[in-house]
Amino acid sequence: MREIRRLLPHEDLLYVSDSAHVPYGDKTEAHIRERSLLLARFLQAQGAKALVVACNTATAAAITQLRQELPELPVVGMEPALKPAVAATRSGVVGVLATVGTLASARFAALLARYAGDVEVVTQPCPGLVEQIERGDLDGPHTRELVQRYTQPLLARGADTLILGCTHYPFVRRLIEEIAGPEVRLIHTGPAVARQVERVLRERDLLAPPLRLGRELFWTSGVPAALQPSISALWGQPLVLQPLPAAAAAPRLSPA
């Protein structure tokens, strides 16, 4: 969202933090698809003209269904930036930090088959890291211990390029850089996704005219008062966090 705001200052941005249901990485695909479709329909009802699935795990599990069931809404997804990482590596080893759900998905397997070539791709699931970032703990002792635990096996295998394969992880980029060292390059997909959003809107003649700066509206499925300080800190300025309507906030499937 921050990259989209930088590139498209005149667009209104509608954001849902599904905090009551994170992390998605350990949920079933059926649960993730249901949440994604429910939230997409909510955003469409608020006037959204395009949808960004700002989660690698949700993209892998739900983007096909979203495009099938909401054909009138252009949908832009996320996936680990394997292609640029393979092009960037000097050692021939690329590390991927991601959720269990992303790494186990057929979409990620297809990315490997398409782009890895002769490059060794070493994957590392990162349970617990999303929760720390959701709390706003970006450099505390436990967050630091998790980053150390998850990056060291990749570095030990010779990775000189690390993919941040979850949209939460750029928030701890500085910590990862500190632990990994200056010779290791970090790659994430935020800027590329923002450029794709601009292309999609331009192709469909949906770009907002440059008459005013866009506004941002934020909702959460969690408790707004509890989450507002951490989400404001992640966004970089104070914001008003609204509760999702009950129909969009409540689950209908077991998250197990």
Q: Known catalytic residues?
A: 55, 166
Cα 53 to Cα 35, 47, 76, 159, 222: the distances in Å are 11, 16, 6, 28, 19
Q: How many residues does the chain have?
A: 256
Q: Dig out the tokens for 174 from the structure.
A: 């500085």
Whether 168 contacts 130, CB under 8 Å: yes
Whether 74 contacts 45, CB under 8 Å: no
Phi and psi at 196, nearest 5°, equal: -65, -40
Q: How far apart are CA 179 and CA 146, in angstroms?
A: 11
CA 99 to chain centre: 11
Cα 112 to Cα 82, 135, 172: the distances in Å are 8, 32, 25
Give the position of tokens 């507002």.
228
- Of 175, 185, 178, 156, the residue nearest 90 (C-alpha): 185
Q: Dig out the tokens for 85 from the structure.
A: 């990482």
CA angle 67, 82, 51 (to 5 degrees): 25
